[in-house]
Chains A and B, each alone.
Chain A
């Protein structure tokens, strides 16, 4: 697909990926001084930098589609952010954070990688080079946590998997019915990405005490799924976090 104008559903799709990466940057930043060792902190700081850099590129593309820059950067209410619901609240413990970041970063990458449009050629490949290190770090950490704290990992999976499935999209969005595949904007339907994520973690945790929740085709319910914010319900990120993202407390120092 090479037409300059994207369908509205594609703008919403990229907005959700960008907002998810914005919140991923925030969550990595919160944990980069709280990891169990210095190496995790350094990796978290690098991941945060990568995510914020990717957000800059995605926001630039969204502006070219007519999305207002001020709205993107600083004039949105919390309920206008379309981030994956997994990131609404900070994880309270290290194993929870790793599951939260792992599921969300992988899902965001697979959604991005599914885009088949000239505007993303090259850029997605570069982002993939960043993401390799994020996803390897998560999987390496999950392997060791599955041995050391399997209950904590399993509890976090049960908490976050339904939200990540909602972010990816309903199971009814297959090759014939996914509207973005139909529009030629993506080449991999939501149903296939759901399956890929589930299979990845089933394989990763094979031989450990961690069970991955079954892939439930009824989650999210297609009837109540919000295709713009890619979640069910009207929950949103905490207003204090939005203030940080928008630099509210330091706005007086903005260079005009």
Chain B
């Protein structure tokens, strides 16, 4: 399962997407993210399961004309 890794250096900053990890559980994803992306002294590091990302998918609006 793919997890996206988000971090920030300073409190209040926007989160940055720094990469991904493959993990079989949330517990492992937390550890892998910390171990893989620990070069910086992050104020925050978090993971999001790819299935939990909500796709923004613009749809053409119907104009109401008879087809």
User: Footprint of B on A, CB under 8 Å?
Assistant: 37-40, 42-43, 46, 133, 136-137, 139-141, 143-144
Scan B12-45; emit 1 where CB is below 8 A from any A CB, else 0: 0000000001111101101110111010000000
Q: Do B35 and A39 touch (CB < 8 A)?
A: yes
Q: Do B25 and A143 touch (CB < 8 A)?
A: yes
| Interface class of chain A by DSSP | helix
A139 to B28, CA, bound (A): 9
Count of A-B residue pairs with CB < 8 Å: 39
| Interface class of chain B by DSSP | helix
A185 to B20, CA, bound (A): 45
Of B21, B27, B30, chain A has the most CB atoms within 10 Å of the CB of: B27
Q: Which residues of B are found within 8 Å of A42, using beta-carbon distances? A: 32, 35-36
Q: Do A137 and B25 touch (CB < 8 A)?
A: no
A210 to B38, CA, bound (A): 34
Q: Which residue of chain A is the closest to B34 with respect to CB atoms?
A: A133
Q: Which residues of B are found within 8 Å of A38, using beta-carbon distances? A: 22
Q: Which residue of chain A is the closest to B3 with respect to CB atoms?
A: A39
